[in-house]
Amino acid sequence: MKFAIYGENVTVNDKMREKIEGRLSALNKYVVIDESQSARVTVKVYNGGLKVEVNVPTKVGLMRSEVVHEDFSTAVDLAIDKLEDQIRRQKGRLSRRHKDSLAENFVTENDTDEDTPVRTKTVYAEEMVLDEAIMHMEMLSHSFFVYKDTDSERLAVVYKRNDGGYGLLEVTE
């Protein structure tokens, strides 16, 4: 990746240039960046501090961030962090939509297979009534709780709904 670093009302010295180039080079681990394209960074001086604008053209699209901060180093770090967040969100959107042709532009190092469970846990379904199951779920701060209903003698799952209420899944055989 090439770099085009400009300063408005400030002279960009070698130390500033190294900081910017070092942080922008780290984006290669997230997204494929064409070597012929150049990342454009503009550093401006304002009354409130320095403004760092970063534009990085990628094969997915233009990634852009801007940050105003008193400290130059912090402003660069925050701007690159914003770009990394944008890349992660965009990559998640693409993978959810199964757009393989666009997702190939992202680096897939450390990706996990979505079909493989991350963790397996065995639970013992205690026999109890619904109110008691809700109480256990709330005490554990879980969003669901598996138990055996005393009335029906079947497995059931109580869960917390987005509207604040509770839902119940009853298992039939």
Using alpha carbons only, give the angle 160, 163, 166 rounded to the nearest 5 degrees.
30
- Written as six digits, the tokens of 20 are 């910017």
pLDDT at 169 over 90: yes
- Please indicate, yes or no, if residue 145 is contained in any of the structural domains: yes
Torsion over CA: 99, 104, 108, 113 (sign): positive
Q: At residue 33, does pLDDT exceed 80?
A: no
Count of domains observed in the chain? 2
Q: What are phi and psi of 56, to 5 degrees?
A: -125, 115
Pairing of strands 62-69, 49-57: antiparallel
Q: For the whole model, what pTM was predicted?
A: 0.52
Residues 88 and 135 in one domain: no
Q: Do residues 148 and 155 make contact, with C-beta atoms less than 8 angstroms apart?
A: yes
Q: For the chain, what is the mean pLDDT?
A: 81
Q: The domain containing residue 76 runs over which residues?
A: 2-103
Residue range 142-171: average pLDDT? 90
Residue with tokens 């009335």: 151
Query: CA-CA distance, 10 to 118, in Å (whole number)?
Result: 50
Residues 23 and 72 in one domain: yes
What is the tens place of the pLDDT at every residue in 95-151? Answer: 565 555 555 555 555 555 556 767 787 888 889 999 888 888 887 778 899 999 998
| Mean pLDDT score, 12-41 | 81
Counting residues of the chain whose pLDDT is more than 90, the rounded percentage is 13
SS3 17: helix
Kindly report which listed range (5-19, 33-47, 98-112) carries the lowest average pLDDT score. 98-112
pLDDT value, residue 148: 93
Find the CATH number of the domain harbouring 155.
Answer: 3.30.505.50
- Cβ(66)–Cβ(53) under 8 Å? yes
Least reliable range by pLDDT among 87-96, 102-111, 162-171:
102-111
Q: Which residue has the tokens 């013992």?
A: 124
User: What integer is the mean pLDDT of 79-90?
Assistant: 84
3-state secondary structure of 69: strand
Pairwise CA distance, residues 156 & 94, whole Å: 35
137 and 94 part of one domain: no
Percentage of the residues of the chain whose pLDDT score is greater than 70? 81
